[in-house]
Amino acid sequence: MQESINKDRKTKYLNPYLGGVLLGLVLLAANFVSGRGLGASGAIKSGVVSIVTAVNPEAVEKSGFIREYQGAHAGSPMKSWLVFEMLGVLVGGFLSGALAGRLKFKVEHSPKITSKKRLMLALLGGILFGFGSQLGRGCTSGSALSGMAVLSLGGFVTMMAIFGTAFALAYFFRKNWI
């Protein structure tokens, strides 16, 4: 069973260098069209601002975070470039998964840990990444990848901090992955 999965992996995934060139062309298209790169965490931020605005409008007045967001984005937070782009990501990922026969509900984890532990770690990792992406003004997509493409100093610094930290901590979390 595992062997057949491995065969699928080897045959059905794109060559990584070709994948990289295609990713670069998508990022180039984003810059050519909108004057900005790709992003992901910005769409989450739009989502959070929308939810808070809908649930507790009074909080908006008090929140420096939301005021800062509104200063940078006119109009409805959901009518933003990154929200539309991330909706596209869901469609594009689904199409690729469907063509390759990878659509399946599952919790992916190392055999050394339980599904429950994997989900707890995924939640914790998500919280940290969400928080860090706001502090760092963008995630792996918006700050690191897109920042590097336009030679932003901050983009390079954030990229090195993300990958450097993950490498430094990898030993302590190895049982979750290998």
Partner 1 sequence: MGPLAVNEIISENTNLLLAFIIGIGFGFVLESSGFSSSRKLAGVFYGYDTVVLKVFFTGAITAMLGLLFFSLFGWVDLNLVYVNPTYLTSAITGGIIMGAGFIIGGYCPGTSFCGASIGKIDALVFIVGLFIGVAIFGAGFTLWDNHYLADFLGSPKVSESLGLTDGVFALILIVVALGMFWAAEWAEKKFAREEY
For the CA atoms of 78, 79, 81, 85, the dihedral, rounded to the nearest 10 degrees, stands at 60
61 binds partner 1 (CB under 8 A): no
- 81-110: contacts with partner 1 (CB under 8 A): 81-82, 84-97, 100, 102-110
Applying CB under 8 A, among 76, 112, 114, 170 the residue interacting with partner 1 is 170
How many residues of this chain interact with partner 1, rule: CB under 8 A? 127
Mapping DSSP onto H, E and C, the string for 54-97 reads HHCHHHHHHCHHHHHHHHHCCCCCCCCHHHHHHHHHHHHHHHHH
Tokens of 85: 């782009």
Q: Which of residues 145-164 bind partner 1 (CB under 8 A)?
A: 145-164
Report yes or no: 84 and 121 within 8 Å, Cβ to Cβ.
no
Decide if residue 71 touches partner 1 (CB under 8 A): no
Using rule CB under 8 A, residue 167 touches partner 1: yes
Tell me how far CA of residue 110 lies from CA of 78, 101, 107, 166, 167, in angstroms. 36, 22, 10, 18, 18
Distance in Å, CB of 5 to partner 1, minimum? 8
Picking from 108, 131, 103, 133, the residue whose alpha carbon sits closest to that of residue 119 is 108
Q: How is residue 122 written in tokens?
A: 């995924």
Minimum distance between the CB of residue 113 and partner 1, rounded to whole angstroms? 11
**26 to 45: interface string for partner 1, x by CB under 8 A:** xxxxxxxxxxxxx-xx--xx
**Using an 8 Å Cβ cutoff, are 147 and 138 in contact?**
yes
Eight-class DSSP state of 113:
S
Q: Which is nearer to partner 1, 54 or 91 (CB)?
A: 91
Q: CB 118 → partner 1: shortest distance, Å?
A: 6
Q: Which is nearer to partner 1, 54 or 153 (CB)?
A: 153
- Binding residue for partner 1 (CB under 8 A) from 76, 114, 124, 175? 124
